[in-house]
């Protein structure tokens, strides 16, 4: 393993569909913001290996950035189970007790048929443990970026959920021998 690995974490482009929806793996990215995509691409290292979650929106975004990523299942977004494909507003308006309870402790509680954010953090930790290059570009989800920040900062998962991670934003984290360094969070190119 290299002494230092720089992780260039990109949140995928916004999904092409109604805002506030819990998207499935097949949801496509809206790649209409070519200026932001081109600006972001110019800020990425040329010699880095690329990785992505297996979701269509991350693959679409990676290809728009002219990357050919290795797909890593551990980098998938948190699984929201039975709520996938539904809008947050609709779930709240329906009075779903499980949905209301979930937001009291969203880091630890598990959506019906899904996984907790704590589980996502453990899964992301496994995935990054296999990356040994000096630089790695990861086209992933907001939850995956938050999971990386949770790991790098050694904070409770609940604290990591406070980070805002915008579509097409760049977060940079370095893994040093025995420690971490956060270089930037949610950097936008608009």
Q: What is the pLDDT of residue 178?
A: 82
Q: What is the pLDDT of residue 2?
A: 58
Which residue range(s) make up the domain with 167? 5-187
Cα-trace Rg, the chain: 16
CATH code, domain carrying 53: 3.40.50.1240
Of the candidates 67, 22, 28, the residue with the CA atom closest to the CA atom of residue 45 = 67
The total of other beta-carbon atoms located within 10 Å of residue 5's CB is 18
The partner residues of 140 in beta bridges, in order of sequence, read: 11
Q: For residues 149-168, give the mean pLDDT.
A: 98
Encoded tokens for 177? 């021998």
Specify the number of domains making up the chain: 1
Residue 177's pLDDT band (cuts 50, 70, 90): confident
- Measured CA to CA, the distance from residue 38 to residue 40 in angstroms comes to 5
- Which tens digit of pLDDT belongs to each residue from 81-123? 999 999 999 999 998 899 999 999 999 999 999 999 999 999 9
Question: pTM of the predicted model, to two decimals?
Answer: 0.96
């Amino acid at each position: 393993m290299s002494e230092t690995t720089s992780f260039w974490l990109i949140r995928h482009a916004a999904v092409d569909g109604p805002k506030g929806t819990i998207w499935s793996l097949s949801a496509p990215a809206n790649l209409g913001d070519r200026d932001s995509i081109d600006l972001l691409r110019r800020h990425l290292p040329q010699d880095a290996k690329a990785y992505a979650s297996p979701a269509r929106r991350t693959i679409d975004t990676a290809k728009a950035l002219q990357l050919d990523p290795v797909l890593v299942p551990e980098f998938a977004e948190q699984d929201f189970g039975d709520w996938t494909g539904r809008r947050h507003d609709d779930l709240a308006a329906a009075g779903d007790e499980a949905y209301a309870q979930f937001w009291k402790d969203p880091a630890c509680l598990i959506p019906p048929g899904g996984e907790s954010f704590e589980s996502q953090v453990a899964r992301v930790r496994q995935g990054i443990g296999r990356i040994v290059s000096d630089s790695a570009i990861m086209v992933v989800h907001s939850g995956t970026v938050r999971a990386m920040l949770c790991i790098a900062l050694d904070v409770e998962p609940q604290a990591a959920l406070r980070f805002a991670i915008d579509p097409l934003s760049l977060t940079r984290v370095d893994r040093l021998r025995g420690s971490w360094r956060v270089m930037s969070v949610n950097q936008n190119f608009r």
